[in-house]
């Protein structure tokens, strides 16, 4: 199949190139249609109890969360007549802003105690918009923050709330990514030039990278016509698109050069490249694809979007590596080596330092395995302190206006007035005595500071409970579980921000075993089909799990322990790590690690099938593939390490996690543990029952 594809691409190379250019134009045009359709939300579980409660609250009680929550500080007293005049003028001005449908403040709510600060000097001013999701009112938040955050007459105004935080995070990420790209792109280009050794060849990753990025934009646009897609999926699209473009083009171009330098014609070299490296790219891409697809198992649109983007980017990267890239190589021929800047990159050595490293390791495999496992164990030790949470204002720099407003709100007010627990009791109007008992029990739950009187609409009832802790913390999760554990004959639906957070964490925890099972099963099947071995797939999965454990330990030590800030930059220490970002990091790292595993095993198997002994096959395979793996890992690490310049903590987490993991994988795992274990298992590496051999592919 792959040989036939190679012959076809050589014969139709100009037509293939023309079609590729057309597809790039279509993909580029689709980006203009895609970007306005992307969402900044998607963090809740649509099937959860909290979502059902929120639907009741919106449709029956016509209550919605405020898009903005302003803290209005009088510096004297909220009851001061001068404060009342200035606060009323402020509220009137904000109510007249475009997009604002309603306002509510301490002064217009009859001096409600819940809207007054503990010291009596500040009050809340809530702003409501027509948007059903407060997180989508970012343009209004931007305008109001710009106009009113700061001094207003005798008042000090802090503009906060969910929309303001969403706007701050999105804007900060956009600016930080631009900075990261301004650093990573020039560095990546210089590294590409050094690794490929020539100007022409170093441009080849653009072929696959553009295929992946622009092709995924088109796929995401089509998906957005049917369901929501998160704006953050663009980060994965560009990062992985460039990364896979580097990975696959390195493999294809390196093999093409190797075949050319062995004396084959251009056509023979292209055909041989597609039949060998092309097959490796195909199976490698499949392992990454099935791994990334696991993100679509999760109920959150945020994580599903990364699944959509990941599957799209891998599929289009495989297409770019197998279709246009070989056609372009057929057109270039020997000109692929023109404008040389480093000759040793053009003609790699048959027996270089990687082969010597493999032989050194295989002479003392037990010692290497022992030391390597000890290193991984030490790195993984801090994982015992890991605590998960979700994104809130603390991911922003402490001096950001939205973060300052959130801190003022938490420090100066008794409870989460803007984000209460919303309890809906369908049919509760007929059970007044039982509701009174329930309210009394509710007020006894730890951290709840106030419980409202029941609001009756028709036959249904609603109770609000204000609490004194952050709504997206492990303590709030315990609080919601305690609320739901209150014994009552009433049918109760618990909603609100804290309940939404609790349900999201529970939804992720429930889905995680299924996602992990899918990854393990599909990777084992694909690697067995590719290698014809039972041992190698199991070993690959176990080694990747060890690598992930070490990475999670490092993330915990840095972002929970607060260490190494000189490297990752300053951040607000919260004692937690964003759950979604940890899952995303693990899935991306696992997929890329399997990518490198297939690269290495493919070449080792090819050498072993050619008649070499296990030791010689490993040494030669490592020599031929390790330089590619290391180069690809270094380039990808540069791309993701540039995210450390971000001021948003969870983007730092993603950047450090991926960069650290792939460097660890390409050195300790692939260069030391894999050859040591290959030596220990010997010819048993390639064992499988005869009945199963018919399900493997021939190399």
Looking at the structure, tell me whether residues 576 and 681 fall in a common domain: yes
Tokens 């045009």 belong to residue: 29
Please indicate, yes or no, if residue 149 is contained in any of the structural domains. yes
Query: What are the residue ranges of helices labelled H in 420-496?
Result: 432-443, 474-484
pLDDT at 547: 92
d(CA 268, CA 14) in angstroms, rounded, equals: 18
Phi, psi (deg, nearest 5) at residue 121: -100, -10
Range of the domain at 124: 67-160
Tokens found for residue 179: 């900075």
Residues 488, 455 contacting (CB under 8 angstroms): no
> What residues are paired with 116 via a beta bridge?
123
Please indicate, yes or no, if residue 415 is contained in any of the structural domains. no
Please indicate, yes or no, if residue 46 is contained in any of the structural domains. no
Looking at the structure, tell me whether residues 243 and 350 fall in a common domain: yes
Query: What are the residue ranges of helices labelled H in 60-161?
Result: 81-95, 138-148
End-of-domain residue from the set 495, 511, 538: 495
User: Considering only CA atoms, which of 449, 451, 484 is closest in space to residue 469?
Assistant: 449
Please indicate, yes or no, if residue 199 is contained in any of the structural domains. yes
Please report, for the domain that includes residue 221, its CATH number: 1.20.1640.10
Looking at the structure, tell me whether residues 330 and 200 fall in a common domain: yes
Please report, for the domain that includes residue 93, its CATH number: 3.30.70.1320
End-of-domain residue from the set 495, 514, 534: 495
User: Considering only CA atoms, which of 143, 319, 166 is closest in space to residue 230?
Assistant: 166
End-of-domain residue from the set 449, 471, 495: 495
DSSP string over 258-307:
HHHHTT--HHHHHHHHIIIIIHHHHHHHHHHHHHHHGGGGSS-HHHHHHH
Looking at the structure, tell me whether residues 155 and 187 fall in a common domain: no
Looking at the structure, tell me whether residues 437 and 547 fall in a common domain: no
Looking at the structure, tell me whether residues 138 and 197 fall in a common domain: no
Cβ neighbours of 548 (radius 10 Å): 22
Looking at the structure, tell me whether residues 106 and 251 fall in a common domain: no
Please indicate, yes or no, if residue 53 is contained in any of the structural domains. no
Looking at the structure, tell me whether residues 243 and 351 fall in a common domain: yes
Please indicate, yes or no, if residue 211 is contained in any of the structural domains. yes
d(CA 5, CA 181) in angstroms, rounded, equals: 36
Count of alpha carbons within 13 angstroms of residue 186, beta-carbon side: 5
Q: Strand, coil or helix: what is 463? A: strand
Please report, for the domain that includes residue 461, its CATH number: 3.30.70
Q: What is the mean pLDDT of each run of 10 residues along the chain (699 residues)?
A: 85 89 87 78 83 88 85 91 93 92 90 86 90 70 92 93 85 80 82 80 84 90 89 81 86 88 89 90 91 92 91 94 93 83 58 75 91 95 87 84 89 75 90 90 91 89 87 87 92 91 90 92 90 89 92 94 88 85 89 86 83 83 79 84 86 90 89 89 84 69
Looking at the structure, tell me whether residues 484 and 522 fall in a common domain: no
d(CA 198, CA 201) in angstroms, rounded, equals: 6
Tell the burial category of 344 from Cβ atoms under 10 Å away from its Cβ (0-12, 13-18, 19+). Answer: exposed
Looking at the structure, tell me whether residues 284 and 179 fall in a common domain: yes
Looking at the structure, tell me whether residues 252 and 388 fall in a common domain: yes
Please indicate, yes or no, if residue 49 is contained in any of the structural domains. no
Q: What is the pTM of this model?
A: 0.84
For 531-587, what is the HEC assignment?
HCCCHHHHHHHHHHHHHHHHHHHHHHHHHHCCCCHHHHCCCCCCCCEEHHHHHHHHH
Looking at the structure, tell me whether residues 259 and 388 fall in a common domain: yes
pLDDT at 487: 92
Please indicate, yes or no, if residue 171 is contained in any of the structural domains. yes
pLDDT at 349: 57
Q: How many domains does the chain have?
A: 3
């Amino acid at each position: 199949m792959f040989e036939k594809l190679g012959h076809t691409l050589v014969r139709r190379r100009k037509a293939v190139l023309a079609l590729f250019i057309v597809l790039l134009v279509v993909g580029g045009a689709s980006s203009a249609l895609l970007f306005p359709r992307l969402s900044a939300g998607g963090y809740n579980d649509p099937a959860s109890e909290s979502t059902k409660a929120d639907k009741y609250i919106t449709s029956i009680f016509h209550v919605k969360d405020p898009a903005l929550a302003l803290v209005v500080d009088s510096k004297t007293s909220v009851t001061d007549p001068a404060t009342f005049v200035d606060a009323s003028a402020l509220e009137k001005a904000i109510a007249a802003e475009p997009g604002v449908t309603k306002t509510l403040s301490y002064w217009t709510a009859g001096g409600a105690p819940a809207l007054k600060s503990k010291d009596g000097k500040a009050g809340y001013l809530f702003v409501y918009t027509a948007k059903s999701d407060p997180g989508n009112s970012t343009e209004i938040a931007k305008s109001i923050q710009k106009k009113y955050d700061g001094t207003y007459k005798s008042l000090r105004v802090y503009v906060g709330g969910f929309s303001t935080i969403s706007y701050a995070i999105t804007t900060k990420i956009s600016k930080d990514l631009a900075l990261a790209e301004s650093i990573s792109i020039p560095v990546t280009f210089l590294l590409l030039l050094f690794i490929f050794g020539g100007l022409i060849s170093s441009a080849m990753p653009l072929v696959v990278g553009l295929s992946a990025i622009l092709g995924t934009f088109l796929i995401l646009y089509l998906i957005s016509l049917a369901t929501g897609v998160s704006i953050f999926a663009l980060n994965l699209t560009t990062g992985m698109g460039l990364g896979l473009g580097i990975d696959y083009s390195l493999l294809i171009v390196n093999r093409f050069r190797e075949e050319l330098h062995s004396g084959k014609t251009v056509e023979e070299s292209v055909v041989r490249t597609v039949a060998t490296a092309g097959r490796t790219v195909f199976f490698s891409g499949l392992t990454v694809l099935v791994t990334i697809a696991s993100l679509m198992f999760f109920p959150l649109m945020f994580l599903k979007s990364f699944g959509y983007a990941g599957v799209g980017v891998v599929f289009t990267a495989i297409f770019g590596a197998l279709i246009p890239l070989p056609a372009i190589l057929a057109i270039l021929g020997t000109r692929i080596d023109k404008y040389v800047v480093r000759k040793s990159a053009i003609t790699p050595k048959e027996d270089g330092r990687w082969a010597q490293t493999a032989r050194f390791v295989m002479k003392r495999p037990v010692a290497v395995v022992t030391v390597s496992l000890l290193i991984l164990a030490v790195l993984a030790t801090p994982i015992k302190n890991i605590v998960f949470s979700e994104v809130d204002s603390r991911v922003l720099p402490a001096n950001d206006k939205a973060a300052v407003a959130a801190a003022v709100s938490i420090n100066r007010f008794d409870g989460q007035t803007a984000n209460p627990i919303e309890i809906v009791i369908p049919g509760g109007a007929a059970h007044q005595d039982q509701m009174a008992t329930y309210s009394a029990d509710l007020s006894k739950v730890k951290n709840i500071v106030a419980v409202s009187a029941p609001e009756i609409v028709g036959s249904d009832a609603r109770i609000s409970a204000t609490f004194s802790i952050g709504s997206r913390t492990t303590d709030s999760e315990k609080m919601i579980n305690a609320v739901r554990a209150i014994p009552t004959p009433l049918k109760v639906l618990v909603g609100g921000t804290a309940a939404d957070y609790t349900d999201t964490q529970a939804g992720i925890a429930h889905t995680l075993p299924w996602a992990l099972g899918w990854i393990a099963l599909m990777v084992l099947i694909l690697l067995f089909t590719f290698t014809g071995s039972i041992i190698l797939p199991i070993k690959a999965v176990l080694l990747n799990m060890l690598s992930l454990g070490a990475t999670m330990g490092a993330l915990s030590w840095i972002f929970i322990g607060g260490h190494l800030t000189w490297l990752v930059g300053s951040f607000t220490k919260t004692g937690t790590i964003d759950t979604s970002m940890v899952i995303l990091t693990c899935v991306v790292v696992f997929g890329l690690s399997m990518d490198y595993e297939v690269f290495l095993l493919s070449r080792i198997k090819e050498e072993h099938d050619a008649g070499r002994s296990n030791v010689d096959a490993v040494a030669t395979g490592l020599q031929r593939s390790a330089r590619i793996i290391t180069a690809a890992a270094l380039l990808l690490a540069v791309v993701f390490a540039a995210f450390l310049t971000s001021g948003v903590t969870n983007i730092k987490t993603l950047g450090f996690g991926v960069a650290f993991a792939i460097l660890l994988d390409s050195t300790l795992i692939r260069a030391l543990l894999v050859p040591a274990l290959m030596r220990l298992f010997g010819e048993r590496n390639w064992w499988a029952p005869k009945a199963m051999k018919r399900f493997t592919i021939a190399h």
